[in-house]
Amino acid sequence: MKLTRLVRAAAVGALAVFGAPLAHAADKSVVVAYQTDALPSSVAIANGEFEKATGFKIDFRRFNSGAEIFAAIASGDVQIGYVGSSPYAAATSRGLDVKAFYLASISGTDEALVVRNGSGINSLADPLIKSLGLTEKDVQVFAIPQPDIVAGYNRGDLDGGFVWDPALTELKKNGKVIITSKEVAEKGAPTFSAWVATAAFAKANPDFLTTFSGVISKYQTSFVKEPERWGPDSDNAKLLAKLLGGKPEDQAAALKNLNLLPIDVQVSDAWLGGGESSGLAKILKDTAVFLKDQKKITDVLPSYAAFVTPDAVAALKKAGS
Q: Are 58 and 29 in contact (CB under 8 A)?
A: yes
Q: In this structure, are strands 160-164 and 5-8 parallel, antiparallel, or unpaired?
A: parallel
pLDDT reported for residue 26: 47
HSE (side-chain half, CA atoms, 13 Å) at 249: 0
Cα angle 299-300-304, degrees, rounded to a multiple of 5: 140
pLDDT reported for residue 274: 92
Spatial distance between the Cα atoms of 22 and 15, rounded to a whole number of angstroms: 11
Dihedral angle over CA of 37, 41, 45, 50, nearest 10: -150
Spatial distance between the Cα atoms of 126 and 135, rounded to a whole number of angstroms: 14
φ, ψ for residue 159, nearest 5 deg: -90, -20
Q: Are 314 and 267 in contact (CB under 8 A)?
A: yes
Nearest to 189, CA basis, from 130, 121, 147 = 130
Q: Are 220 and 260 in contact (CB under 8 A)?
A: yes
Dihedral angle over CA of 68, 213, 247, 163, nearest 10: 40
- If the chain, 321 residues long, is cut into consecutive pieces of 10 residues, what is the mean pLDDT of each piece? 44 34 60 94 98 97 94 97 94 97 82 83 68 58 76 88 79 86 69 95 97 97 96 97 93 91 94 93 92 89 97 93 46
pLDDT reported for residue 25: 42
pLDDT reported for residue 19: 39
pLDDT reported for residue 22: 43
Give the chain's domains with CATH numbers. 7-108+190-320 (3.40.190.10)
DSSP secondary structure code for residue 21 in this structure:
P
**Strand (E) positions, the chain?**
5-8, 29-34, 57-62, 80-84, 98-106, 111-116, 140-142, 160-164, 175-180, 192-198
